[in-house]
């Protein structure tokens, strides 16, 4: 998941870089057109077209390198914020820094982007006609229109890329909202968790381990504000407790076995985690010498389909091992993550658990449900553990709410970054539309003046400019949405509870882009209505 998430972020970064390059290309095209007469005169006095084209490429590379430097400076200040927002389980997150490799990569990308951005303006400069320029004294109408169509096509393309980014971000956001609605199977509020590791050197026997756990739970239960105290080998949403094959009674075929999640707990664990009991009863102190267990609903349904699981017997590990009797059934929990279905889970008394050979310590998690803010009793819990065994490592204390939040931290981080890049891409696309329409209005100032002088209403002139800009935007939106229908399936592994062609997202993104485009076009359209006909005609 980390590798695929990194690929997704790389794609978003590449999309933003592409949109930025298109904007730079448009700016250089406009600059080349405005300098057409200058370039033509230089050609007439002996400058070769190759030299002029190299000049455009040098300018492009210089601008790109300056942009890369600005980007590195911005990244330096933003890096701390991004790293602090990254989930704790993101591999090697503490190693993220701007080093020599990052600088080398940035320089290479800046140089490549500069060359690519300058190719099209340089080519357009190479095909300009010097005779037409000298005759007209400015860019010819035909050349201006041709360049204008090319710039509009480029802007439509960047709007399409922006639409793809917004579709990806929207799908991740909708998927994340669906994930938050999943019932985890337990109540996380007002629950404190403490990680404890019992070294095998001092807790080599089951009796010594059971004594420590029982004493800790009794003293924890006596703390003010603690309603229930429990222990387990693993918290929900943090991974499986321990996998083992489950064999129904009198079953010897491998095909009839089931891989289950084994979790040693105490009787009060279910109350501490608010895991509901659905059938039967929970094991108690009276069951110390009896091989009993409580199973989850999905485990019961898989082992004994359509039957009452209470009183049934099964084997853990192999059919030759002693049978275990089911005394109760509880609700399902999500053991690994909210986006994975609950695993068949078996809860056994902690005093019957056996440490696997070769293990140096027994890792436990103590949970306490409180009547107040769970962090207020954290210091008391830590002090209690240290009093029981001063040589134990200082236990880490977390609330169960933090555990739940951390369980989807990577999804949230990926979603936030993709949405950030999508927003930047949309902003750049809006600036691209604004630039093209503003330049078009400037080029058509004389035309606007004539229209207004002949009695055209300002509203008609404004609508004409708005129509021109929105046509470009809608063309880009259409291209982007059509591409998204085919490419969205690549996001299937990142989605939960939504389809790649989710109608909510595919209906919202065009609306957002249309509003952004309208805002970008509105200022040039408003400026067009302010043209003074006398000034426009005199300037021409």
What is the pLDDT confidence band of residue 104, given thresholds at 50, 70 and 90?
Answer: very high
What secondary structure does DSSP assign to 242-284, as a single string? Answer: -EEEEEETT---GGG-EEEEEEEE-TTHHHHHTPPEEEE----
> pLDDT at position 320, please?
84
> pLDDT at position 422, please?
94
Say if CB 298 and CB 258 are below 8 A apart: no
> pLDDT at position 240, please?
81
More confident residue, 133 or 49: 49
Alpha helices in 86-129, H assignment, sequence order: 100-126
What integer best gives the mean pLDDT of the chain? 85
More confident residue, 18 or 526: 18
> pLDDT at position 272, please?
95
Burial class (CB in 10 A: 0-12, 13-18, 19+), 458: middle
> pLDDT at position 139, please?
44
Share of the chain above pLDDT 70, in %: 89
> pLDDT at position 137, please?
46
> pLDDT at position 538, please?
61
Length of the chain in residues, anyone?
A: 540
Average pLDDT, integer, range 421-441 = 89
> pLDDT at position 363, please?
86
> pLDDT at position 453, please?
74
> pLDDT at position 533, please?
66
> pLDDT at position 1, please?
65
Identify which of 209-218, 323-332, 353-362, 490-499 has the greatest average pLDDT. 323-332
Share of the chain above pLDDT 90, in %: 43
pLDDT in tens, 401-416: 999 999 888 889 999 9
Distance between CA 43 and CA 61 in Å, rounded?
23
pLDDT in tens, 486-518: 888 989 989 999 999 999 999 999 999 999 999
pLDDT in tens, 126-180: 665 555 555 554 444 455 566 678 888 889 999 999 999 999 999 999 999 999 9
Identify which of 246-250, 269-273, 385-389 has the greatest average pLDDT. 269-273
pLDDT in tens, 224-244: 889 999 999 999 998 887 888
More confident residue, 498 or 249: 498
Inform me whether the pLDDT recorded for 82 exceeds 90.
no
Distance between CA 416 and CA 410 in Å, rounded?
10
pLDDT in tens, 273-317: 999 999 999 998 788 888 999 999 999 999 998 889 999 999 998
Average pLDDT, integer, range 97-105 = 89
Residue 230's nearest CA partner among 182, 282, 278 is 282
Distance between CA 260 and CA 140 in Å, rounded?
77
Q: What is the pTM of this model?
A: 0.84
Average pLDDT, integer, range 529-537 = 66
The H or E element containing residue 402 is helix 400-407
Distance between CA 422 and CA 426 in Å, rounded?
6
Inform me whether the pLDDT recorded for 440 exceeds 50.
yes
Say if CB 161 and CB 59 are below 8 A apart: no
What is the pLDDT confidence band of residue 360, given thresholds at 50, 70 and 90?
Answer: low
Residue partners of 100: CB distance under 8 A and separation at least 6: none
What secondary structure does DSSP assign to 297-318, as a single string? Answer: HHHHHHHSTTS--TT-EEEES-
Say if CB 173 and CB 150 are below 8 A apart: no
């Amino acid at each position: 998941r980390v590798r695929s998430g990194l690929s997704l972020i790389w794609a978003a970064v590449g999309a933003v870089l592409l949109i930025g390059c298109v904007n730079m290309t448009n700016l250089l095209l406009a600059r080349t057109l405005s300098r057409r007469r200058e370039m033509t005169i230089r050609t007439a006095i002996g400058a070769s077209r190759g030299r002029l084209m190299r000049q455009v490429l040098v300018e492009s590379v210089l601008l790109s390198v300056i942009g890369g430097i600005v980007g590195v400076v911005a990244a330096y200040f933003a890096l701390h914020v991004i790293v602090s927002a990254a989930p704790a389980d993101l591999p090697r997150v503490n190693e993220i820094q701007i080093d020599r490799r990052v600088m080398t990569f940035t320089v290479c990308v800046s140089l490549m982007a500069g060359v690519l951005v300058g190719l099209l303006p340089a080519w357009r400069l190479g095909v300009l006609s010097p005779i037409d320029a000298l005759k007209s004294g400015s860019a010819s109408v035909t050349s201006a229109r041709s360049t204008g169509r090319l710039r509009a096509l480029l802007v439509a393309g960047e709007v399409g890329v922006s639409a793809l980014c917004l579709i990806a971000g929207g799908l991740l956001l909708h998927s994340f909202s669906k994930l938050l609605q999943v019932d985890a199977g337990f109540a996380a509020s007002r629950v404190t968790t403490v990680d404890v590791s019992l070294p095998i050197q001092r807790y080599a026997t089951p009796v010594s381990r059971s004594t420590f756990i029982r004493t800790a739970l009794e003293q924890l239960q006596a703390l003010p504000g603690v309603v229930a105290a429990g222990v387990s080998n693993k918290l929900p949403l943090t991974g499986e407790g321990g996998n083992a094959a489950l064999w129904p009674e009198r079953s010897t075929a491998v095909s009839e076995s089931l891989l289950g999640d084994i979790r040693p707990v105490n009787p009060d664990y279910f109350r501490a985690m608010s895991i509901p009991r659905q059938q039967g009863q929970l094991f108690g102190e009276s069951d110390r010498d009896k091989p009993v267990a409580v199973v989850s609903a999905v485990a019961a349904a898989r082992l004994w389909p359509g039957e009452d699981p209470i009183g049934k017997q099964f084997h853990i590990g192999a059919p030759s091992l002693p049978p275990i009797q089911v005394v109760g059934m509880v609700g399902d929990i999500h053991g690994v993550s909210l986006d994975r279905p609950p695993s068949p889970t078996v809860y056994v008394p902690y005093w019957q658990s056996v440490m696997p050979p070769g293990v140096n310590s027994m890792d436990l998690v103590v949970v306490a449900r409180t009547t107040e803010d769970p962090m207020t009793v954290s210091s008391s819990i830590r002090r209690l553990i240290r009093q029981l065994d001063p040589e134990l490592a200082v236990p880490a204390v977390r609330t169960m709410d933090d555990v739940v939040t951390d369980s989807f931290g990577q999804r949230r981080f990926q979603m936030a970054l993709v949405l950030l890049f999508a927003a930047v891409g949309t902003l750049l696309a809006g600036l691209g539309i604004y630039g093209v329409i503003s330049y078009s209005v400037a080029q058509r100032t004389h035309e606007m003046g004539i229209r207004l002088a002949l009695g055209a209403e300002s509203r008609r002139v404004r609508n004409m400019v708005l129509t021109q800009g929105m046509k470009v935007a809608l063309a880009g939106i259409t291209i982007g949405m059509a591409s998204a229908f085919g490419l969205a399936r690549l996001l299937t592994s990142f989605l939960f509870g939504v389809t790649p062609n989710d109608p909510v997202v595919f209906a919202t993104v065009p609306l957002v882009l249309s509003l952004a485009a309208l805002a970008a076009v509105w200022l040039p359209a408003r400026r067009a209505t302010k043209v003074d006909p006398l000034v426009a005609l005199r300037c021409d």
